[in-house]
Chain A
């Protein structure tokens, strides 16, 4: 009995290592609904088309895992999903492989990848997976007239009620400046000056006693649903899930949206490089990118993919109004500048935390 058990375990272990080390690839993502959507829209079709097994691995912090693996010289993952700020850092520190844009698929209209991808979506070490946004979401029942502008978020008189804001200087400070009337393309110039930082904190100070600070993305829709806040900053995907999936009566304000992207990267010295590159080329296909929006409310990073975006997996909800990449939604949006945060993140986070506690 014991022998059989040992033999069985050994076989299972061998099978598992065979998949991860030889012909297959592992795709490390933040998991959750996004991981599932990637599995449905990318990993499964990839395996069906190429015969290369693709295994999804959930991790709460893929860049930290990537850094640890490369520094330890024991890279097990092939492809990682990381955020923009991490791309810059990981690439500068030489922890990820360069990606040649020539290997990416051409646009749906025949344009080259360089022309077709949105600004900042192509990086020398990464290609964007999707575009998401931090937006204002509100409880439709809480207000007589719906808020429409960023300034309404800071207007406690006409729009009374508690506000939810992410407990991080990134997004919160840019948002405060937008609320103070700074144009989206000037936000980071203003925030680079000490006066600009003071201005952002002063704006937040004006509503500080009405703010509920949230930490995890899932908290924002929950705070809205419980009536804890009337208006909150939230990730657009989470609010979409609450509206369409759970039928909540929430609304979006696209003014002041902060666009951000997730990227595919390959760790330096990753095994099975060829399959990983194949996967990234496969994922750059505009049709595949449009297909992702079928499972989750994130927009495609290629312009030529936007028209192909159809309905949600329920078959009835048109996705375009919920996506940050739809042209009318993106009009007054700010594209997050990860380079700025790589330079000033520590300093501003310390000041932000001191300000919060004070």
Chain B
């Protein structure tokens, strides 16, 4: 097929020509005699392939940097093979014998053999760390017994292990080992909700003084909503001003909005420390004005107030920019028309102007809220003891306790919460009404 012929074959108009010149043919064909349907299918398939090639890099990027890591995170939150993989014999004993079976010589023998193998393979720490998640203080039990196990244990194994450390007789430890012998577990989710399993295996709350995650989830949600509300109250008038001022003035104002946006997050957070601390600029001004006494300086940072102020400021541009882009497109004659028809300025704003800004408001609110829910460094630095968010605990599990399964479970719960709110938002406002710019 020559190039010309191919181009004709791909040209849908060629079919019309062919039909017109071919007279009363029952089957529509292209100029070179092919059935039209097939030629069309082929050409559109080719177009689809090309289009796909165009988006392929992006698709690959999204899969590699987004879908796979999140999938891995979700997997890790309920999968931890640290015990099952490295203690195969005792894991097999747990599989063969239902809960409640007395721990017999076979089990003690399997445990002794597994401990020896794990110590030789240098995996004993992984095993101990896994059990330590459920029974604090047992990690060193595994590693110290492992050091003794390198020479091997003599039967009877129960006596040998108890001689190495009497803690091996603890029923809670055996229950934890049984639960860890299957790699898939919901225990990390239970722990992330301040719950645990008691010795009978039923779910209970952890002691009150250990309960921290549910409270932090609630606080994160509450503070994020509050911050979203604050950015709306502060951002709406600014966006309106930006959209209605003459170009030269609004450009200047826009720079004032964007400049902090372009400044490093850390710089902005530190600047708030300088402003708000007890010996800081604001307190100095208050004392100078006589509003507070030198001993009554206000505590405005290293607490929840500091977190709210700093995060509201940092997230403000994410509210202003979508609002601004929507407000700029609102035709001022609508409000003028409403006024001329007798509406008060408040009614005109409420019934005519405000509803038109909703797409921008929705986008801004969603952006600010989702960013606030995951905020980490600002609450870490200015939050003190009462301004911590759940992300600080996730970071702690990632970098300090290295309990990544726990971090993943907390993160998955956070992700789930955001998705539920997104769904609610979609039902209430409608995601089609979103406008980012």
A: which residues have CB within 8 A of B? 61, 63-64, 67, 88-89, 91-94, 162, 167-168, 192, 211-213, 215-216, 219, 226-228, 339, 342-347, 349-351, 353-357
User: Interface majority SS on A: helix, strand, loop or mixed?
Assistant: helix
Interface locus among B34-42, B155-163, B377-385:
B377-385
Query: A213 contacts B384, CB within 8 Å?
Result: yes
Given contacts A88-B125, A228-B277, A356-B385, 20 further A-B contacts (CB under 8 A): A64-B398, A64-B399, A89-B129, A91-B125, A93-B129, A94-B123, A167-B385, A215-B380, A219-B381, A342-B129, A342-B139, A343-B136, A343-B137, A343-B140, A346-B136, A349-B401, A351-B212, A354-B210, A354-B211, A354-B212
CB of B122 closer than 8 Å to a CB of A: yes
In the bound complex, residues from chain B placing their C-beta under 8 Å from that of A216 are 380-381
Query: B209 contacts A351, CB within 8 Å?
Result: yes
Q: CA–CA, A134 to B219, complex, Å?
A: 32
The range of chain B's interface size is: 35 or more
In the bound complex, residues from chain B placing their C-beta under 8 Å from that of A64 are 398-399, 402
Which 3 residue pairs of A and B lie closest in terms of their CB atoms, listed nearest first?
A92-B125, A94-B122, A347-B136
Find the A residue at minimum CB distance from B133.
Answer: A346
15 CB < 8 A contacts A-B: A89-B129, A91-B125, A212-B302, A212-B384, A216-B381, A228-B278, A342-B129, A342-B132, A342-B140, A343-B136, A346-B132, A347-B136, A347-B137, A353-B388, A353-B393
Find the B residue at minimum CB distance from A63.
Answer: B402
Chain B 116-138 residues near chain A, CB threshold 8 A = 121-126, 128-129, 132-133, 136-138
- Among A64, A168, A345, the one with the most B-chain Cβ atoms within 10 Å of its Cβ is A345
CB of B279 closer than 8 Å to a CB of A: yes
Find the A residue at minimum CB distance from B122.
Answer: A94
Query: A355 contacts B133, CB within 8 Å?
Result: no
Q: How far is the CB of A345 from chain B (nearest CB, A)?
A: 5
Q: How far is the CB of A232 from chain B (nearest CB, A)?
A: 13
In the bound complex, residues from chain B placing their C-beta under 8 Å from that of A94 are 121-123, 125-126
Q: How far is the CB of B400 from chain A (nearest CB, A)?
A: 7
In the bound complex, residues from chain B placing their C-beta under 8 Å from that of A67 are 402
Query: B129 contacts A92, CB within 8 Å?
Result: yes
CB of B215 closer than 8 Å to a CB of A: yes
Query: A61 contacts B401, CB within 8 Å?
Result: no
Query: A356 contacts B402, CB within 8 Å?
Result: no
Q: How far is the CB of A1 from chain B (nearest CB, A)?
A: 24
Chain B 398-437 interface 0/1 with A at a Cβ cutoff of 8 Å (1 = within): 1111110010000000000000000000000000000000
Q: CA–CA, A109 to B122, complex, Å?
A: 35
CB of B396 closer than 8 Å to a CB of A: yes
Query: B279 contacts A355, CB within 8 Å?
Result: no
Query: B388 contacts A356, CB within 8 Å?
Result: yes
Chain B 200-230 interface 0/1 with A at a Cβ cutoff of 8 Å (1 = within): 0000000001111001100100000000000
Number of CB contacts from chain A to chain B under 8 A? 105
CB of B391 closer than 8 Å to a CB of A: no
- Out of B133, B139, B279, name the residue touching A226 (CB < 8 Å): B279
Q: How far is the CB of A217 from chain B (nearest CB, A)?
A: 12
Find the A residue at minimum CB distance from B379.
Answer: A215
Q: CA–CA, A89 to B403, complex, Å?
A: 11
Query: B132 contacts A353, CB within 8 Å?
Result: no
- Out of A339, A349, A354, name the residue touching B400 (CB < 8 Å): A349
In the bound complex, residues from chain B placing their C-beta under 8 Å from that of A91 are 122, 125
In the bound complex, residues from chain B placing their C-beta under 8 Å from that of A167 are 385
Query: B137 contacts A93, CB within 8 Å?
Result: no
In the bound complex, residues from chain A placing their C-beta under 8 Å from that of B125 are 88-89, 91-94
CB of B33 closer than 8 Å to a CB of A: no
Q: How far is the CB of A171 from chain B (nearest CB, A)?
A: 12
Q: CA–CA, A273 to B138, complex, Å?
A: 34
Query: A355 contacts B209, CB within 8 Å?
Result: yes
Query: A351 contacts B381, CB within 8 Å?
Result: no
- Among A67, A346, A353, the one with the most B-chain Cβ atoms within 10 Å of its Cβ is A346
Q: CA–CA, A344 to B135, complex, Å?
A: 10
Chain B 262-320 residues near chain A, CB threshold 8 A = 277-280, 302
Q: CA–CA, A219 to B136, complex, Å?
A: 31
In the bound complex, residues from chain A placing their C-beta under 8 Å from that of B123 are 93-94
In the bound complex, residues from chain B placing their C-beta under 8 Å from that of A219 are 381
Q: How far is the CB of B138 from chain A (nearest CB, A)?
A: 7
Query: A215 contacts B381, CB within 8 Å?
Result: yes
- Out of A339, A351, A356, name the residue touching B140 (CB < 8 Å): A339
CB of B386 closer than 8 Å to a CB of A: yes
Q: CA–CA, A253 to B278, complex, Å?
A: 25
Query: A227 contacts B279, CB within 8 Å?
Result: yes
Query: B215 contacts A347, CB within 8 Å?
Result: no
CB of B179 closer than 8 Å to a CB of A: no
In the bound complex, residues from chain A placing their C-beta under 8 Å from that of B30 are none
